[in-house]
Amino acid sequence: MLRIGNDLVQRRGDPKGALQLFGVALGIFREFGDRLNELRALKDMGVAFQDQGKYAEAEKRYEETLVIAEEIGARREAAAAYNNLGSLRHLIGDLRRAQARYQQALGVYTELGEKRLTAVLLTNLGEVLLARGDLKGSRDSHEEALGMNRELGDASGSAYDTYRIAEVLVQTGDLRAAEERYRSSIKEQTEPALAAETRVRLAALLNDTGRAAEGEKEAREAEEPLRVQGALDLALWAQVVIADAERAQGRVKEADATLAKALPKVDTSADSRVKLSALLAEARIAAAEPKSPGIDRVARGLEAARLAAAKGGRVVDEFELRLAAAELGMAAGTPGAGARLLKVAAEARAKGLEGIARKAEARPR
């Protein structure tokens, strides 16, 4: 029954139908006192709820699986519960709790000698550490995962960690090395959706470094494979990057139209990265049209997002949003906007975020 339910979730995209089956299975396992399969049913219910965007319900099921795993001494299942809870918190942008859960899972998998799962957790942890501004910790985590994945012969995992190391290099300001890593990852990646995701991130880097025509080409080449693979949030991200490339090439009205088509779907996306990219693109387009009546709305959106990023411990996002707000203020002629840019640069550099500091200093004041 659990296998049928998982098929409904993974292959047929029917989490509601799967939940009905999981609920029936859960009742049977509880009736017979089968704690291990009760745990598995609850875990599968959590996944199905998460796929529907019902995160509170998903977290409740994951917490129940953790309680049962600890009661029956199922350490591997307990580590899986920690990872699921971390992934959920990571998804919604609560990085402090995501990091804590990932570290708990990593500790158990390391003790159990689960090398493949240890590599996965090191990768997950590296992503959170980067977002929290711990560049050294992030790179160390990804380098360790990269070594493990190479030892295991996991080409996709190795390519993904190479991509994530490129992300760290962007923040340290080593953009040439970052581009090399992105391109190496795309070449080595065996999973089409992950290769396309990396291509979108490369496109964003090209947009930011005065090569927006190349960035647009890369993003357009990535969009269709992502759509075909069913990675709709990532395809949406590609559309946002295309809009930003159009804006960077001076095609502001075209960029505005491209982004306007994407925004309704962005509003319903659960991917915090897509939401952030769309908001930053919207701010840049508004800065290119300083007389736009929507500029105040965008400014309020940036401030709300900044507060949420600060609350969730998303240091890099917080600085990106502060930079965008200062740029928007410069375009609108807001008094003190130039000083705010300099403050962003100084504080970003103090945090080791050299990439953001350089972007702030490069902006005309």
Tokens encoding 146: 């990269």
For residue 8, is pLDDT > 60?
A: no
- Return phi, psi of residue 163, to 5°: -60, -45
Tokens encoding 198: 């990396």
Location of structure tokens 């902006």:
363
| Minimum mean pLDDT range among 14-18, 100-104, 219-223, 327-331 | 14-18
How far is it, in rounded angstroms, from Cα 207 to Cα 116? 35
Location of structure tokens 């070594």:
147
For residue 219, is pLDDT > 90?
A: yes
Q: What is the pLDDT of residue 16?
A: 66
Q: How confident is the model at residue 78 (pLDDT cuts 50, 70, 90)?
A: very high
Q: How confident is the model at residue 273 (pLDDT cuts 50, 70, 90)?
A: confident
How far is it, in rounded angstroms, from Cα 203 to Cα 242? 8
Tokens encoding 231: 């990675």
> For 185-211, what is each residue's pLDDT tens digit?
999 999 999 999 999 999 999 999 999
For residue 166, is pLDDT > 60?
A: yes
For residue 50, is pLDDT > 70?
A: yes
* Nearest CA-CA partner of 218 in 236, 198, 233, 234: 198
Q: Which residues touch 155 (CB under 8 Å, ≥6 apart)?
A: 188, 189, 190
Q: How confident is the model at residue 17 (pLDDT cuts 50, 70, 90)?
A: low
Residue 26 and residue 45 in contact, taking contact as beta carbons nearer than 8 Å? yes
Tokens encoding 189: 């990646």
pTM: 0.88
Mean pLDDT along residues 140-150: 98
